[in-house]
Chain A
Amino acid sequence: MNNDVIYGINGPVVTVKETDSFEMMEMVYVGAQKLVGEVIGITDRLTTIQVYEETTGLKPGDPVTGTGAPMNVLLGPGIIDNIFDGIERPLKAIEEQAGAFISRGAAVPSLDPQKRWAVTMKVKAGDRLEEGQIYATLPETPIIEHRLMVPPGLSGTVVEIKPDGDYRVMDTVAVLRDDAGESHELTLCQQWPIRTARPVKKRLAPTVPLITGQRVMDTLFPIAKGGTAAIPGGFGTGKTMNQHQLAKWCDADIIVYVGCGERGNEMSQVLDEFSELIDPKSNRPMTDRTVLIANTSNMPVAAREASIYTGITLAEYYRDMGYHVAMMADSTSRWAEALREISGRLEEMPAEEGFPAYLPSRLAEFYERGGRADVLSGGEGSVTLIGAVSPQGADFSEPVTQNTKRFTRVFWALDKSLAYARHYPAINWINSYSEYFNDLDPWFRENLGDEFVEYRNKISALLQEENSLMEIVKLIGADVLPDDQKLVIETARAIRVGFLQQNAFHAEDTYVPLEKQKRMMEVILHLHEKAKEIVAREIPISKITELGLFDKLAKMKYDIPNSRLEMFDEYIAEIDDKLGLLML
C-alpha cells in the first residue's frame, strides 16, 4: 500500500510529493537504509521531513515509510548509566555494531532487550490500578530503584500478574483490564512521545533548594528543586565547567546530562570522570545516577534539535517515580541554532538574527516542563532545568539569551573579565539574579537559622557597595578614599577571593556544605564589623591590613577542612584578640 517516495532533498530536509499518508510530527523511515526522520510540514503538494542522519547518497524515488506514531522514546530499566545519541540510540551498542565512527541507519534497540532484571511485584490479581501507579520495582543500579508505572491514560483491574523473578524489558509481567473490558499487557517499559509533557497530579511551589555545594550559587543565587536556571557566557567563561560541577555535586537523585551540539572530547571527559568519581552520599560511582545524551556538534543537526526533548522526557519519567531529577542542557543555544538551521531550509520567514519567530514559544514549552510536583505514583518528584546559553559574541542582548531570561528564574551570568582573571566560577555577582529568595528563605531560616539570610543580604550589600566604589577608584585611585570606604573594598576583596572564588580542582573546596558556607560568611562579616569599630576611632586602616587577617580569610577555604568547622571559632577568637590589641 505504501509507495511514498522522496521527491526533493536539501541538506537534512527531504520532501515527498502529493501524499496524504503522514501525520504532523510522525516518525518516518527514509531511504533504503531506513534513516530516522520526522514530518515537520504538510501541504497538499509537499510533505516535508527532517532527517536525523546525513542525507548524502539519498535519491529521489527512495522509499519513505511511516510508523504511524510521533517521535517516541522507550522508557524502562537500562536508561541510567547509559549514553545515548539525540534520539535515544545507545552509543555503546552503535560502537559495537559499527566501530569508532557512527554509520548511518544504525538499527539498535534503545534498551538492551536481552538483559534480565530482578523484578519485585507490588500488586496482586484483583487490585485496582490508576494511571501512573507503581506495579513493580527492580534495582536498576545499586542506588536507583526503578519503579514500573502504569502508563498515563490507562487504568483498570489487574487480571494476571507474574511471580517475582528475572524478566527482560519486553516480557509481559502483568495484564490489566480497563473499564471497557479491554486487556492491556504491561511490560518493563513504555513508549512516550518526546514533545509531550508527562502528566502529574499537582504542581507544587518550589520551596526546597537544590543544594549544589557551590558557594556563589547556594548562597547568593540559589535555585529551587524544580526550578529553572540559565548559565549564559561567552566561550571560555566556564559554562561547561559549571554544568559539570552541578552534575557532580548537586543533591538531586538523578542527573540527565544533555551534551547538545558540544565537543566530542568533552563528552569523553564526562564519561571518564563520572565513572571514576565517587558520589560521597552513596559511595558509588557518579554514573550510577547519571544518564548522558551526547549529540556532538558534528552529529546531524536535526537530532540535536530532538536531543533536548529526549532528555527532558527521560527526566520526567524518573520524576514520575518520585525522584528529584536535575537536567543539564549544554548548550541550549546550539539547540536554538538547530531550529534556525532547519527553519532556514524550510524557507520560513525569519525573525530576529535569522531565528524563527517561534523560538520564544519553543523555549517556553521546554522550561515549563521543569517543576516540582505531586506525581501520579504518589509522593513527590521534581525536574530542575539548568540550561547553558552560548551568546553570540558574548553579547547578552541576542535573542536566545533574552528569551531564555524570560522563562528561567535564575540567571547565572558568566563574565569574560572574571574568566580572564581566572576567577572561577566566573559568575558575575552584579548581573546575576535568583527569583527564588521568597520561596526558599523560609527553608534557609528553618534549616540554617535566620542568620544565614541576614549574612547573605549583608554580603550582597557589601558587594554592591564595592561595585559603586570601584567606579570612583577606576577614575582617581584607591588612595583618596576615606578609611571606612577602604574597609569596604578590603572586605569585598576577602569576599571575592575567599568566598565567591571556588576551586573545582581542590579536594576540599570543590564541594562546600551549607553550614561551612554560613560560617565563612560569619567570619568575614565579623572581621568587617570589628574593623569598622576601629576605623570609627580614627585608627588608620593600614594598621588592620598589616595584621594579615584579610589575607588569612582569603585562604580559609583551603585551610579549614569541611569536617572541622569548629576551627571557625579559633578564627573569630584570633580576630578579637588581634583587633582588641589595636583598640588599646
Chain B
Amino acid sequence: MIIEYVGVKEINGSLIVMDGVKGVSNEEIVDIKLENGTVRQGRVVQIEGERIVVQVFEGTRRISLKNTRTRLTGHPMEMPLSPEIIGRVLDGAGRPLDGLGEIFPVKKANINGTPINPVSRVYPKNYINTGISTIDTLMTLIRGQKLPIFSGSGMTHNDLAVQIVRQAKISGADSSNFGVVFAAMGVQKDVAEYFRKSFEESGVLSRVVMLLNLSNDPIIERTLTPRCALTIAEYLAFELDMHILVIMTDMTSYAEALREFSSSKGEIPGRKGYPGYLYSDLASLYERAGMIRGASGSVTQIPILTMPNDDITHPIPDLTGYITEGQIVLDRALQGQGFYPPVSVLPSLSRLMKDGIGEGYTRVDHQALANQLFASYAKVIDARALASVIGEEELSPIDKKYITFGRLFESRFVNQGFTENRSIEQSLDLGWELLSTLPRAELDRVDDALLDVYYKG
C-alpha cells in the first residue's frame, strides 16, 4: 500500500521540510495533495536520515503545517516522450497546455539526462546558413553548436532568433527531419505569442515543441523548463534522427530562479548571490548540444540571455561564455542608430567556425576575409576613439579612410532587413567590396594570392 505523509515540519520559500520519511531516494518526485484537492509536485533535494527537504514546483502558497498529504512516487522527474510530441504546447514542467490531452509515452526519460561520453561525440563541422551576413561571415553557426545571443532588455534578440529559425538551412535537414524546441522561461505572454505567431507565419509551427513558463508562472518550475526541453530535443535528435534547433529564452530568468531556490535552501552564495554551482548547472544544460556517433540527428542550441545592465561581465553572461562555443553580442548603440540586427562584431565569436568554413564548406577566402574584417573594424574603433578627442578633421588620411569604412560596414554589412536573406556568396562579396575601400597595404591578414583575386580597390 502507498503511504501518505500528513503535514510538513517547516516551510521556507519554495521548500518544505518533512520528518519521519522512510525509503526516499535522492531527487525523487513527490505528489503533494492539499486539502482543497489540488495536487502539486515536488522534488527531494536533500536528505538527512528521515528528514527530507522538498522543493515544490508550484510554490508553497496556501500550504500549512498540516493541510497536506504527501506521497512518494518512487522515481525521479521524468518526461513522457513520443514522436507525437512535435507540434505540442506544454507548460514549464512538460505538461500539456493545449488541451489536446496527455502525451502517450513511447518511453520516459529522466529530465536531467546523462552526460555524452566525449569519445562518442562527433566534432561539429557542418555550417548552418542563416542568411545573415554578420553571423554567416564572422561567427558562423555550426550544426551541433551552442551559440547564445547576449542581448539586453528592449533589444531585437527575439527578431533575430525568429529570423534564424526562418532562414536557417541545415545541411542534411529538410522539412521532414527539421524541428524546433522552444523553451520560454519567465518571458512575457506577448513575447511567447510573438514567437508562436512567427513560427506559424514561417510555416514551421507544426514542427515546433513549445514549453512555456511565462513570467507569472511558478519560479521553481522554471528550473525544470530547459531540462524538459533538452530531454525532448535529445529524444528527437538521437532517437528519431532529427535536426533540432533549441531556442531557450531568457537564461537570465532561469539563473534568477536558481538563485531564489538556492538562497531559500540556505546555501552559501557565490558571486552576486548566485549559487557556487551556477557554472556546473548551466553546463549541464549547454553541454546537451552536439552530435553523437551512430545517430544522424543533431541538437543545436541558441540560448538568449539579457545581460543585466548590459554588463557582459555579469556572472550569467560570463559563465555562459565560458561554456558555450562563442556568442553573438548585440549592441544598444547600433540599435539606437536603427541598425538591424545590431550585432556587435568585435566581442562576438564562433569557436567552431574555423573547421566548418573554407574550401568545401563555404569558400576558400572565408577565413582570411573574416580575420581581416575583424582586424580592420578594430582599427575603426581606435580611429573613432581618437576622433572623439581631436576631432575627425584632424585625423590622418588613413584614419579617415577607416572612419568611412566603419560607416559603410555598419550600415551595409551589419545592417540587414528582417526579411532579407543573403546567400553566403553575397555576404562574402560584400565584405570584399567594403574592404576594397581601404588601401591594399592595410590588409595585412590576407595572403597576396587571395588579394589578387578578391581585392577590387
Binding site for B on A (CB under 8 A): 7-11, 15, 17, 54-61, 83, 91-92, 94-95, 98-104, 234-236, 259, 261, 263-269, 271-272, 294, 296-299, 301, 334, 337-338, 340-341, 343-344, 347, 350, 353-354, 390, 392-395, 416-417, 420-423, 473-479, 497, 505, 548, 551, 554-555, 558
- Of A95, A297, A334, most buried by chain B (CB within 10 Å of CB) is A297
Q: Which residues of B contact A395 (CB under 8 A)?
A: 313
* Pairwise interchain contact B49-A8, C-beta atoms closer than 8 A: yes
* Pairwise interchain contact B49-A344, C-beta atoms closer than 8 A: no
Contact A555/B117 with A297-B323, A354-B270, A477-B386 known, Cβ cut-off 8 Å: no
Contact A347/B268 with A95-B119, A268-B121 known, Cβ cut-off 8 Å: yes
Query: Which residue of the partner chain, among B114, B117, B270, B445, contacts A353 with CB atoms under 8 Å?
Result: B270
* Pairwise interchain contact A298-B322, C-beta atoms closer than 8 A: no
List 9 A-B residue pairs with CB atoms under 8 Å apart, sorted by A's residue number. A102-B115, A261-B280, A265-B145, A268-B119, A297-B323, A341-B276, A341-B280, A477-B386, A477-B399
In the complex, residue of chain A having the shortest beta-carbon distance to the beta carbon of B311: A393
In the complex, residue of chain A having the shortest beta-carbon distance to the beta carbon of B48: A8
Contact A422/B269 with A10-B46, A261-B283, A296-B115 known, Cβ cut-off 8 Å: no
* Pairwise interchain contact B375-A265, C-beta atoms closer than 8 A: no
* Pairwise interchain contact B287-A297, C-beta atoms closer than 8 A: yes
Query: Top 4 closest A-B pairs, CB basis?
Result: A393-B313, A297-B283, A421-B378, A298-B287
Q: Which residues of B contact A56 (CB under 8 A)?
A: 25-27, 76, 110, 112
Stretch of B242-250, B347-355, B402-410, B413-421 on the interface side = B347-355
What does the 1/0 interface line of B9-33 toward A look like (CB < 8 Å)?
Answer: 0000000000000011111100000
Query: Which residue of the partner chain, among A58, A297, A555, contacts B25 with CB atoms under 8 Å?
Result: A58
Contact A264/B268 with A390-B322, A395-B313 known, Cβ cut-off 8 Å: no
- What is the CB-to-nearest-CB distance from B344 to chain A, in angstroms, rounded to a whole number? 10
Contact A83/B119 with A297-B280, A555-B444 known, Cβ cut-off 8 Å: yes
Q: Which residues of A contact B294 (CB under 8 A)?
A: 100
B35: interface (CB < 8 Å): no
Contact A476/B270 with A9-B46, A59-B26, A271-B118 known, Cβ cut-off 8 Å: no
Q: Which residues of B contact A341 (CB under 8 A)?
A: 276-277, 280
* Pairwise interchain contact B441-A548, C-beta atoms closer than 8 A: yes
What does the 1/0 interface line of B267-297 toward A look like (CB < 8 Å)?
Answer: 1111100011101100110111010111100
Cα A559 to Cα B109 in complex, Å, equals 57
A264-B290, A478-B396 are known; give 12 further A-B pairs, CB within 8 A.
A95-B117, A100-B238, A265-B123, A265-B325, A296-B283, A298-B116, A301-B277, A395-B313, A420-B374, A475-B390, A477-B395, A555-B448
- What is the CB-to-nearest-CB distance from B285 to chain A, in angstroms, rounded to a whole number? 8
Contact A392/B120 with A56-B27, A57-B27, A297-B279 known, Cβ cut-off 8 Å: no
Query: Which residue of the partner chain, among B115, B267, B322, B355, contacts A344 with CB atoms under 8 Å?
Result: B267
Q: Which residues of A contact B268 (CB under 8 A)?
A: 344, 347, 350, 354
Q: Which residues of B contact A101 (CB under 8 A)?
A: 113-117, 120
B321: interface (CB < 8 Å): yes
* Pairwise interchain contact B389-A476, C-beta atoms closer than 8 A: yes
- Of A61, A268, A478, most buried by chain B (CB within 10 Å of CB) is A268
B223: interface (CB < 8 Å): no
- What is the CB-to-nearest-CB distance from B54 to chain A, in angstroms, rounded to a whole number? 13
Contact A340/B276 with A55-B26, A56-B27, A297-B283 known, Cβ cut-off 8 Å: yes
Q: Which residues of A contact B271 (CB under 8 A)?
A: 353-354, 392
B130: interface (CB < 8 Å): no
Chain B interface, DSSP helix/strand/loop, else mixed: mixed
- What is the CB-to-nearest-CB distance from A555 to chain B, in angstroms, rounded to a whole number? 7
Contact A264/B25 with A297-B283, A421-B374 known, Cβ cut-off 8 Å: no
Cα A421 to Cα B345 in complex, Å, equals 10
B385: interface (CB < 8 Å): yes
B315: interface (CB < 8 Å): yes
Cα A103 to Cα B287 in complex, Å, equals 16
- What is the CB-to-nearest-CB distance from B413 to chain A, in angstroms, rounded to a whole number? 16
* Pairwise interchain contact A54-B116, C-beta atoms closer than 8 A: no
Query: Which residue of the partner chain, among B113, B118, B321, contacts A296 with CB atoms under 8 Å?
Result: B118
- What is the CB-to-nearest-CB distance from A36 to chain B, in angstroms, rounded to a whole number? 15
B162: interface (CB < 8 Å): no
Query: Which residue of the partner chain, among B50, B110, B315, B325, contacts A263 with CB atoms under 8 Å?
Result: B325
Cα A100 to Cα B239 in complex, Å, equals 12
* Pairwise interchain contact A57-B25, C-beta atoms closer than 8 A: yes
* Pairwise interchain contact B276-A474, C-beta atoms closer than 8 A: no
Cα A354 to Cα B290 in complex, Å, equals 32
In the complex, residue of chain A having the shortest beta-carbon distance to the beta carbon of B49: A7
B124: interface (CB < 8 Å): yes
* Pairwise interchain contact A83-B321, C-beta atoms closer than 8 A: no
B92: interface (CB < 8 Å): no
- What is the CB-to-nearest-CB distance from A95 to chain B, in angstroms, rounded to a whole number? 5
What does the 1/0 interface line of B303-322 toward A look like (CB < 8 Å)?
Answer: 00000000001110010011
Query: Which residue of the partner chain, among B25, B277, B444, contacts A551 with CB atoms under 8 Å?
Result: B444
Q: Which residues of B contact A423 (CB under 8 A)?
A: 375
* Pairwise interchain contact B374-A235, C-beta atoms closer than 8 A: no
- What is the CB-to-nearest-CB distance from A125 to chain B, in angstroms, rounded to a whole number? 43
* Pairwise interchain contact A422-B445, C-beta atoms closer than 8 A: yes
In the complex, residue of chain A having the shortest beta-carbon distance to the beta carbon of B75: A57
* Pairwise interchain contact A394-B313, C-beta atoms closer than 8 A: yes
Cα A423 to Cα B444 in complex, Å, equals 11
* Pairwise interchain contact B114-A497, C-beta atoms closer than 8 A: no
Contact A92/B396 with A8-B47, A298-B283 known, Cβ cut-off 8 Å: no
Cα A92 to Cα B118 in complex, Å, equals 9
Cα A297 to Cα B114 in complex, Å, equals 12
* Pairwise interchain contact A100-B270, C-beta atoms closer than 8 A: no
* Pairwise interchain contact B50-A60, C-beta atoms closer than 8 A: yes
Cα A100 to Cα B238 in complex, Å, equals 10
